[in-house]
Amino acid sequence: AMRQCVRRDADVDALTASLTGGLKPTTALLGLRGMGGVGKTMLAAAVLSKGSVRKHYRDGILWLPVGLHGHKRLPLLLRQAADDLHSQMVSRFGARDPADRSLDEAGLAAWIAKKVGHRRVLCVLDDVWEPEVTQAFLPSRLQLLVTTRQATVAETAGGDVMDVDTVDAATARRMLALA
């Protein structure tokens, strides 16, 4: 699918620099904000395909599709993040202690934080509508990249926000040429 897309080169470069430019090993948050269909998810996917990003987050990259009413599924989202992180750590580091199935939201975030420790692990929270989702992941020590239509999602958690707008004229012409 990525081969059929027209890349937003300037946005990819800016987001890559933001994600790899010396982030501290504590939770960092970057929000991609824009109207529906403008390309936030594809921009995040394009950046994750870059070797420099994969090298920077060599300890793990997680992708969680969230969607509307994600705040009602927080335990499931945190469980998915914990399970995905454990799977990646088993293959890379031989970790053998999965998160206890009885952990609540706070317990799962603490388990993730303990496993992440000083490692660089990026978690994409895709299509977040409620700030509570982002806030639930803050204690996890994951580096967060959040795609959202809502201005408050990244801002209320103190994160930086990159606005993703419609494409420029040159990119639009490239898109039309492929149609």
pLDDT at residue 158 in the model: 73
- Structure confidence by residue, pLDDT tens digits, 42-87: 999 999 999 999 999 999 999 999 999 999 999 999 999 999 999 9
Sheet with strand 29-33: strands edge to edge: 61-67, 122-128, 143-148, 29-33, 160-163
Look up the pTM and report it: 0.85
CA distance 54 to 14: 16
